[in-house]
Amino acid sequence: MPTKISCQVCGADIEIPDDVLDGELVSCSSCGQKYQVTIQNGLIQLKLIKVEEEDWGE
């Protein structure tokens, strides 16, 4: 049964499949925020991935 973890940005549930691998990337289907999955001692956590914004050549 997939694990559900709340998005840190919008609060929506992110479904993490049972076969997820450590280091895999997942994203929130509601807001698009990306996360890196970390698994330690069977505990699944999501690490927020900061997306660099375009600087438009500044």
Q: Which amino acid is at 49?
A: I
Give me the pLDDT at residue 11, please: 97
Closest to 34 (Cα-Cα) out of 16, 46, 17: 46
CATH of segment(s) 3-48: 2.20.28
Give me the pLDDT at residue 16, please: 95
The Cα–Cα gap between 37 and 47 comes to 6
The model's pLDDT over 8-55, given as tens digits with 9 standing for 90+, comes to 999 999 999 999 999 999 999 999 999 999 999 989 999 999 877 666
Q: Give 19-25's long-range contacts (Cβ < 8 A, gap of 24+).
A: 20/44, 25/49
Q: How confident is the model at residue 1 (pLDDT cuts 50, 70, 90)?
A: confident
How many Cβ atoms sit within 10 Å of the Cβ of residue 14? 20
